[in-house]
Amino acid sequence: MKSKITKKRLITVVLIAVIVLIGVNRFYSYVDDYYQATDNAWSYINNPAEDVSVTYVDNTIVFAPDDPIAGFIFYPGGLVETEAYAPLMEQLAENGVECILVEMPFYLAMFDANGARGIQAKYPEISEWYIGGHSLGGAMASLYAHRHVSEYEGLVLLASYSTKDFSNEDIRVLSIYGSEDGVLNRENYEKNKANLPDDFDEVIIPGGCHGYFGDYGMQAGDGKPSITVDEQTEITVENILKFIVSE
């Protein structure tokens, strides 16, 4: 009787192991199919401007100007290689914003919504901080910001929206998306505007798309942009800088 129970348990364990293994394999197959940073994106890491240093620190990529005017913590979009956001981060750093690009497990911010935790303490010389992200990254950044709203001057959402209510919080919000975005759920975007302060800033980039906030090529399901990724990056940089400097 004992041997039969042992055998039954063994079979159960094996079956569970097989099921788990199949699930894990499928999961890894899914997350391994991510959007990779282009050579152009990598050039901003390997050859930044003279007054900008780029370093990998713990689970972040830091784009540091010589004399920062503010800090900006950024969460990447889902299944996008972190380095794809180097052009945006480096160009902001060229204009005095120290950018902390958070690397996410499996390139999915939902696995580390608290990725910003402890970052500000590492840079005590910076007194004003902003947080934001692209797409899924923006949504997860808003979750963190809602729990730590007093720590930030502003929230930046790129092709994203917040499901948390900031309407009565003392924080400024900038929302940017492209007119040709085919990925952003417009219905949810419009519905969740009610979660933002009445005076939030909204910028719609003419001809812009969902994926061009990073530099990783065209994203599946996206609309057809009428501007280049460099042009969308330039417009995004200009508006984020205007948002930060106007504080």
The 10s digit of each residue's pLDDT in 197-226 is 999 999 999 999 999 999 999 999 999 999
Q: How confident is the model at residue 21, as a pLDDT?
A: 57
Confidence of residue 114 (pLDDT cuts 50, 70, 90): very high
Confidence of residue 3 (pLDDT cuts 50, 70, 90): very low
Confidence of residue 33 (pLDDT cuts 50, 70, 90): confident
**Domain spanning 36-245: CATH superfamily:** Alpha/Beta hydrolase fold, catalytic domain (3.40.50.1820)
Average pLDDT of the chain, as a whole number: 91
Q: Render pLDDT for 126-157 as a digit per residue (tens, 0 to 9).
A: 999 999 999 999 999 999 999 999 999 999 99
Given a cut of 70, is residue 26 above it in pLDDT? no
Q: Render pLDDT for 34-84 as a digit per residue (tens, 0 to 9).
A: 999 999 999 999 999 999 999 999 999 999 999 999 999 999 999 999 999
Mapped to the 3 state alphabet, what secondary structure does the chain carry? CHHHHHHHHHHHHHHHHHHHHHHHHHHHHHHCCCECCCHHHHHHHHCCCCCEEEEEECCEEEEEECCCCEEEEEECCCCECHHHHHHHHHHHHHCCEEEEEECCHHHCHHHCCCCCCCCHHHCCCCCCEEEEEECHHHHHHHHHHHHCHHHCCEEEEECCCCCCCCCCCCCEEEEEEECCCCCCCHHHHHHHHHHCCCCCEEEEECCCCCHHHCCCCCCCCCCCCCCCHHHHHHHHHHHHHHHHHCC
Given a cut of 90, is residue 7 above it in pLDDT? no
Domain range summary for the chain, segments of one domain joined by +:
1-33, 36-245
Q: How confident is the model at residue 25, as a pLDDT?
A: 54
